[in-house]
């Protein structure tokens, strides 16, 4: 799982970071209906987000590197494992601290 502090993620989630679980695209089977929204990130990357057509929650999104990302909150599991990677830390709010042993990528 990773934590992203990029500005586009902060705006999209309404939080100071976005927490996501990433899976190889070939290991994921997607079924059901969703609504799509394309967002351009801080570095110009276009990502298609898929939302529940009933409640509007982000269900998943595909990353250009061949991964499917699922927001950790979508699992509705308070015991979900802590992050193992933290990215875009140069945009992190000064009071945010990532607990535990994580790989830090500026």
The edge-to-edge listing of strands for the beta sheet with 103-105 is 35-40, 46-51, 58-63, 67-71, 18-24, 2-4, 85-87, 103-105
Domain-wise residue ranges, the chain: 2-105
The per-residue pLDDT for 1 is 56
CATH of region 2-105: 3.90.1590.10
Q: Are 61 and 47 in contact (CB under 8 A)?
A: yes
Say what percent of the chain tops pLDDT 70.
90
Neighbours of 89 (CB within 10 A): 16
Q: Using one digit for the tens of pLDDT, what is the confidence trace for 25-42?
A: 999 999 999 999 888 876
Q: Using one digit for the tens of pLDDT, what is the confidence trace for 39-76?
A: 887 678 888 899 999 998 889 998 888 899 998 888 88
d(CA 68, CA 26): 9
pTM: 0.77
């Amino acid at each position: 799982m990773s934590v992203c502090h990029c500005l586009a993620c902060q705006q999209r989630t309404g939080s100071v970071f976005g927490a996501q679980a990433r899976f190889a695209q070939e290991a994921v089977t997607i079924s059901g209906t969703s609504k799509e929204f394309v967002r351009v990130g801080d570095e110009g990357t276009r990502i298609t987000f898929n939302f529940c057509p009933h409640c509007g929650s982000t269900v998943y999104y595909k990353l250009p590197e061949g991964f499917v990302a699922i927001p950790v909150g979508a699992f509705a599991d308070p015991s979900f494992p802590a992050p193992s990677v933290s990215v875009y830390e140069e945009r992190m709010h000064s009071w945010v601290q990532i607990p535990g042993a994580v790989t830090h990528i500026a």
